[in-house]
Amino acid sequence: MRILFVGDVVGRPGRDAVAALLPKLRDELRVDLAIVNGENAAGGAGLTTETARELQAAGADVVTTGNHIWDQRQFAGEIEGLDFVLRPINLPPNNPGRGSLTVKGALVVNAIGRTFMAPADDPFRAMDDLLARSDAKITVLDWHAEATSEKLAMGWHLDGRVTAVVGSHTHVPTADARVLPNGTALVCDTGMVGPRDSILGMKTDVIVERFRTGMPRRFEVADGSVSFGSVLIDADDATGKARSIERVDRTYPS
């Protein structure tokens, strides 16, 4: 199975880039399963039914999320009707939605880190519990976390038990994509699908001013050329082991 994981989509510029590039990449790279992190797709913070469906129409088989999952408040009442959307599996159990799903024979999971993040249940235990109940050969984790140490720890913890641990959240791509000794593909962060000349997809002057003054300012999605960050994982269907992981980075418009 060939799996494309697309990093955090930021606002309308990110959604436009996904709509333009993902269908072509699916054909070009012979992608069997496309997973897109959409937690910043609605105005740069959160997700809505409309924006989730937009990503699905562009070719996303699964849309994952993260710490901004409930930023669009109505989404808590909408997520149950979107069977292709995941929220982190280790949110408290009273949260609506689901943290994992099986699509095209692959188990896709979303989990959130705890280092430098808001409180959440133990993601390591949550993954252990899920895997103890799963018989899926291919399992892909969107590991939405801040600290590279925590991201690496999860990769090594799951090495040989899942196909891939793919990092999201920081919007900054890392150069460490590799297959671990027991067959798990790992990358600390895929990067984003958002405006290149920005700070994490947001207008630079707004973010610089917040750092300079310490005063709150409303985030605004930047514009201009979009960086499209993704990784392609080639997995053995019989064993679930990753054969390779490679970065697939594009610019839109090219």
Q: Would you please indicate which residues are annotated as catalytic (active-site) residues?
A: 68
Beta strand pairing status for 33-37 and 62-64?
parallel
Contact yes or no for 144/169 (Cβ under 8 A): yes
Whether omega for the bond prior to residue 253 falls within 30 degrees of 0, making it cis, is yes
Residue 112 pairs in a beta bridge with 144
Distance CA 3, CA 25 (A): 11
Closest CA to 36 of 65, 72, 76, 12: 65
CB 14, CB 40: distance < 8 Å: yes
User: 144 in helix, strand or coil?
Assistant: strand
